[in-house]
């Protein structure tokens, strides 16, 4: 009985001119969002940073046998979208906080026929950066409130704070990076939208980057002075949710 009443109510709503008009207006509003020449929006999300280390030196000794682990970080961004039929150009100023963990083995050269045993160590990396990707997107699906798009483009980033914590043998050292380098990444991704709501899935990889100018903030062995130099490339995967206006 209740099921019959519910079906009858829906039938009356659809048949009623005002109900049908409201449905048409809502559909038209959703379509109008997709047809604008200019949109803007905001998004928040998570990232996972997985650095690929090409080489690393600690106290002028070579490190090897790298094993990296990703950890969850955060992001927030605003963006501006210029629509040209099925294409769009989207600059997106953003803030990223990335975390990763690197295990390594420090080996020593032979001196007077004696080789010291290798030492295991680990390096926890924390990065805060301001970033500007400029993406070219293409709508594979653009019908009604639903959309599916692919994106690709360059990203310029500025690491305004690098905080590294190294544990090696029985000593712990904390570093910050002094040269706060700029970097360039290549970004590709996919976006899914339902009306104003959208989800982004993005992968990016960076060019090789050497970090050499570190300042030692803390050491459990105050009499020791540690120096590190890292040549690495960063891979980042991120997922975000946002609103389009």
Question: Of 180-184, 203-207, 235-239, where does mean pLDDT reach its minimum?
Answer: 180-184
- The whole-number average pLDDT for the span 133-154 is 94
From residue 168, give the alpha-carbon distance in Å to each of 126, 128, 172, 182, 219: 18, 24, 6, 29, 11
Cβ atoms within 10 Å of 168's Cβ, excluding its own: 19
| Predicted pLDDT at 15 | 53
> DSSP letter string over 57-89?
EETTEEEEEEEEEEEEEEEEEEEEEEEETTEEE
| Predicted pLDDT at 30 | 47
Per-residue pLDDT at 77 exceeds 90: yes
> DSSP letter string over 109-152?
--BTTB-PPPEEEEEEEEEEEEEEEEEEEEEEEEETTEEEEEEE
Domain limits of the chain?
A: 1-35, 37-244
Determine phi and psi for 93, rounding to 5 degrees.
-60, 135
Model confidence at 121, pLDDT cuts 50, 70, 90, reads very high
Most confident of 20-29, 105-114, 149-158: 149-158
Residue with tokens 């950066």: 129
Model confidence at 224, pLDDT cuts 50, 70, 90, reads low
| Predicted pLDDT at 26 | 53
CATH fold for the domain made of 37-244: Porin (2.40.160)
From residue 44, give the alpha-carbon distance in Å to each of 89, 162, 242, 243: 20, 22, 6, 10
Nearest Cα residue to 137 out of 222, 200, 54: 200
Tens digit of pLDDT for each residue in 11-53? Answer: 554 555 544 455 445 544 544 555 689 999 999 999 999 888 8
């Amino acid at each position: 009985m209740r099921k019959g009443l519910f079906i009858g109510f829906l039938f009356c709503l659809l048949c009623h001119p005002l109900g049908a008009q409201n449905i048409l207006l809502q559909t038209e509003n959703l379509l109008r969002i997709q047809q604008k020449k200019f949109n803007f929006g905001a998004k928040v999300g998570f990232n996972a940073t997985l650095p690929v280390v090409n080489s690393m030196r600690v106290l002028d000794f070579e490190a090897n046998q790298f094993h990296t682990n990703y950890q969850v970080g955060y992001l927030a961004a605003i963006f501006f979208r210029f629509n040209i039929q099925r294409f769009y150009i989207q600059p997106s100023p953003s803030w990223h906080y990335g975390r990763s963990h690197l295990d390594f083995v420090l080996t020593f050269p032979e001196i007077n026929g004696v080789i010291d045993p290798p030492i295991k160590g680990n390096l926890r990396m924390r990065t805060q950066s301001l970033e500007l990707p400029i993406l070219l997107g293409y709508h594979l699906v653009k019908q009604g409130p639903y959309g599916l798009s692919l994106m690709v483009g360059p990203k310029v980033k500025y690491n305004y704070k690098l905080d590294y914590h190294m544990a090696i043998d029985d000593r712990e050292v904390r570093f910050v990076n002094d040269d706060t380098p700029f970097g360039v990444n290549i970004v590709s991704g996919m976006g899914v939208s339902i009306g104003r709501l959208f989800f982004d899935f993005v992968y990016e990889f960076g060019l090789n980057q050497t970090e050499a100018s570190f300042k030692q903030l803390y050491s459990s062995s105050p009499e020791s002075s540690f120096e590190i130099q890292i040549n690495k490339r960063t891979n980042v995967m991120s997922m975000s949710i946002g609103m389009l206006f």
